[in-house]
Amino acid sequence: MYPDRFRLPFLAGVLIAAAERVRPGLGPWSPKVESRLRDVFATELADVRARFLELFDDHAYFDRLQETLLGVAVPRYLTAAQKQTALEQRDYGLWRGGDLLARAVYGAVGFAVGLFLVKAPFIPIPTTWDLFAFACLLGAPFIPDAQVWLLKRKHRNALRAIVEDLRDAEVHQELYQPLAAPGPLDELPSGVTRPADRTPSRE
């Protein structure tokens, strides 16, 4: 059993975080951007591999770890990163990019909707709730911020899901480790007798 910093879920989180620090500054998605992000994973993995092999002489373990990270975590991350990059390049689909004019229009529309809801006789809201209209006026300009927050949260959840799935995969791998093949009889520990030779003797 190795420390958490050399286990699959922790390393996936570290590698994804390193790629996310670089990704926003790379511009629109392209094969060059994808290649750059793959390089980030490869560089970080090389550093971790060097530190691991300084402490533990287990090349096979790290090879399996690296194969899973590059074969599972990286493709899933790149898919999520491409979607998020497209959203960022479109300013998250905000009308006018959420500028001051857009926020002013949102505020005016919010006030009009709130006033309508309070004053309309067929809507069961007490007419004394005039503050509701002003609440709509004050809250509506923050709709762009709420939209951006929700989309960023969705991206973070997608990245977190990658790490969680790798944690589950690691647990299953540990539960179903293959049994070691029995060694030759010459390697029996001391005190353990060899089974009797049952070959019938010739008379």
Structure confidence by residue, pLDDT tens digits, 37-50: 999 999 999 999 99
Q: What is the pLDDT of residues 102-148, one digit of tens each?
A: 889 988 888 888 777 777 766 666 656 667 777 888 888 898 999 99
**What is the pTM for the complete model shown?**
0.74
Instruction: Give the model's pLDDT for residue 173.
Output: 63
% of the chain beyond a pLDDT of 90? 46
Please choose, from the candidates 139, 135, 111, 114, the residue with its C-alpha nearest in 3D space to the C-alpha of residue 125. Answer: 114
Residue 66 has pLDDT above 80, yes or no: yes
pLDDT tens digit sequence for 138-161? 888 898 999 999 999 999 999 999
CB 136 within 8 A of CB 148: no
Which residue did the predictor score with more confidence, 188 or 106?
A: 106
- Angle subtended by helix axes 74-89 and 143-175, to nearest 10: 180
Q: What is the number of other CB atoms lying within 10 angstroms of the CB of residue 87?
A: 16
Q: What SS3 class is residue 121?
A: coil
Residues with Cβ within 8 Å of residue 74, at least 6 apart in sequence: 38, 41
* 154 vs 176: which has the higher pLDDT: 154
